[in-house]
Amino acid sequence: MFNRLVIVAFAAVLAACAGSTPKSAPPVPVPTATLAPPPLNSGLDLAGFDRSVRPQDDLYRFAAGTWLAKTPIPADRSSYGSFIILDEQVQEEIKQLIVAASEKPNRPLGSDAQKVGDFYLAYMDTARIESLGSRPLKDELARIDAIATPRDLARYIGHSQRLAVGQPFKWFSSPDKANSTVYVGVLSQNGLTMPDRDYYLSSDAKYAQFRAKFAEYVEQMLAGAGVREAKSAATRIAALETRIADYQWTKVQNRDPVKTHNPMTLPDYQKLAPGFDWLAFFEGMGAPAQRLEINQPSFIKGIAQLVKTVPMSDWRAYLKFHVLDSFAPALSAQFADLQFGFREKTLNGVPEQRPRWRRAVESMDRNIGELIGRMFVEAHFGPEAKARVLELVGNLLEAFDRSIDELEWMSAATRAEAKEKLSKITVKIGYPDKWRDYSTLNVRSDDLVGNLMRASEFEHQRHVARTGGPVDKGEWLMTPQTVNAYYSPLTNEITFPAALLRWPLFDADADPAVNYGGIGSGIGHEISHAYDDSGRQYDGDGNLRDWWTADDRAKFKQRTGALVRQFSDYTVLEHPLNGELTLGENIGDLSGMAVAYKAYKISLRGKPAPVIDGFTGDQRFFLGLAQVWRRNYRDAELLKRLVTDPHSPNEFRVNVPSSNIDAFYDAFDVKPGDRMYRPPAERVKIW
């Protein structure tokens, strides 16, 4: 599924898209680590600590070392840590609700229970799925076979938006950067099977291996669906994707909100990308020709060239492959296993598929997320947790406001704008006030691929219908059962889904220090995104507007430049961290931690914190934060993240920000010679 809008997530924890796939053999039971809070009122999991490491040398391993050593990555995971364990727990709770819905004797057609129950039954009906092979895609593949001209191709590219396949570029609606009260249609680059353009273009031998496996995968998928001369088609598809990769902007370029802001009318983009039949594109999409925000103009221009010059037979093969790849998890094991083998085993290093019921829950989360979310919240989220978290948020906002007041490097004019933006942040906790209306979505127990297609069409029509209209400020861009959080610069809002508000992030029964280190740092992180290198370019109303004086801008860049250099100095698997790609998240982590610490002090109202489990309040704040981020990675997954993930690997999300915060030095008496020590002049403070 697309990432439809510009949002900044707390953690890129879960495989976002097509990664889940069925398998014919019965699933192997996977031991699930327990995530009950330890029986301690500190909220710290002391058994996970490694006392052979000094916190002054490595805070992360001191707080997590034994847990890291004793917790293997399950065979069906590419990494394993707090967020994924929480997600597994949530999935188990949701499964019970879904199964209960599917077993209800009386499920009136069109009711929530019918839709939820039948989606699940369709996903679990492997006998039917096996018997169908790739036949559910017969009509779609025939539609592609009928493409004979560049005009047909443009129409099909429009049509592919309705299936959420969206190749070679994707369309969606989003609040307009220039007027955030109105939705505008956006065109953004897409078109690749592998995770990033680097996988196609890099001279690194590792990527050459992936490219060889990729061509094999394409050939096998096409051959499985009866495409003739699959080997030569695969070679041509790989060549076409390489040309598409070459036109793509890098992830760092795409982080620039100004360069990706290119509003154009129909004549503008007809002129930019001649030879592409835009009217046919909109016809295929089922939407009127419209003003568009074009994120990467040179990419769209390049695609128009390819539409004109690449043979239609190559395009047909490319589109067929993408349809097969997109729907493979819902096809027979032959296709699902092939997809797992490439996307999960080869690219992420995962040995085994997840149990089918988990893949069903993941698919339902993507396709009818708020239907399940509503059931989840009614069963598992109470008003007390919401009230406690709102109190934390209040202290975080107050602490951030004070931090802005104390910034010695910022002029009064910029400071006033920053404070105004803070006062306009919308806070969303738990679940949406108004649930999405799925009444027009038809779900059947005997038609899995049809369910997925109708859910994509439903989502597409929702985007088409609202384009040009007013922005729905109540919309949630994550479901309540998502173990994550986000900041959206276009609506200036921070959102914390119900599923995140659990130990080790939040424990209503624990001493406040760990809660400020855990969810408090998370709240601070999201608020800080309003002021990171990208978010700072939007104002409090979500409009892209430069409210900085030239001098303040220069000072900000000087500070963030120092942070880029700090992170780029570290290597993982002999690859340097990309300090530019991760800058926004690193600012979020650093400023979030600093402001959460300040909020913790505010919450004490001048009273001293007790010593619990042998640690002071300040120590527990940092230890609570560190235990949130404990996580083991497979090498392939880590390598992928170095190229694609705007977040730094978890140990750096703990140790680098801490080493910049004076309170950490005081809490643990860190001295010159300790490995985490940085001289005061080298510590970066941004917010």
Residues of this chain that bind Zn ion (CB under 5 A): 8, 585, 588
Of 489 and 588, the one with the shorter C-beta distance to Zn ion is: 588
Q: Per DSSP, what are the bridge partners of residue 183? A: 175
Query: Which one, 224 or 646, has the nearer CB to Zn ion?
Result: 646
The nearest distance, CB 314 to Zn ion, in angstroms, is 39
What is the secondary structure of 223-248 as a DSSP string? Answer: HHTT-TTHHHHHHHHHHHHHHHHHHS
Cα 67–73–77 angle (5° rounding)? 140
Closer Cβ to Zn ion, 56 or 484, answer by number: 484
Locate 336 and state its tokens: 């699902």
CB of residue 352 vs Zn ion: minimum separation in angstroms?
30
How far is the C-alpha of 370 from the C-alpha of 107, rounded, in Å?
19
In the complex with Zn ion, the residue whose CB is nearer, 241 or 589, is 589
Query: Taking the CA of residue 486 as centre, how many other CA atoms within 13 Å lie in the half-sphere pointing to its CB?
Result: 20
Backbone angles phi, psi at 456, to 5 degrees: -65, -45
**From the CB of 96, what's the least distance to Zn ion, in Å?**
31
Residue 447 or residue 585: which is nearer to Zn ion going by CB? Answer: 585
Rounded to a whole number of angstroms, the minimum distance from the CB of residue 525 to Zn ion is 5
CB under 8 Å to 4, separation ≥6 — which residues?
172, 173, 174, 463, 477
In this complex, which beta carbon is closest to Zn ion, that of residue 155 or of residue 631? 631
Minimum CB separation of residue 497 from Zn ion in Å reads 14
Closer of 153 and 625 to Zn ion (Cβ): 625
For 30, phi then psi, to 5°, come to: -110, 125
Q: How far is the CB of 81 from Zn ion (least distance, A)?
A: 16
Residue among 219 and 585 whose Cβ is closer to Zn ion: 585
Query: 3-class SS at 497?
Result: strand
- Omega of the bond leading into 297 within 30 degrees of 0 (cis): no
Alpha-carbon distance of 173 to 292, in angstroms, equals 9
Residues of 505-521 as b/e, b for ≥16 C-beta within 10 angstroms?
A: bbbeebbbbbbbbbbbb
Residue 89, CB-side half-sphere exposure with 13 Å CA sphere: 18
Query: Residue 361 Cβ, how far from Zn ion at the closest point, in Å?
Result: 25
Q: Residue 170 pairs with which residues in a beta bridge?
A: 188
Q: Which residue is nearest to Zn ion (CB)?
A: 588
CB of 532 to Zn ion, least distance (A): 8
Whether residue 504 has a cis bond before it, omega within 30° of 0: yes
Residue 184's beta-bridge partner residues?
174
CB of 65 to Zn ion, least distance (A): 25
Q: What is the CA radius of gyration of the chain?
A: 25
Nearest residue (CB) to Zn ion, 459 versus 585: 585
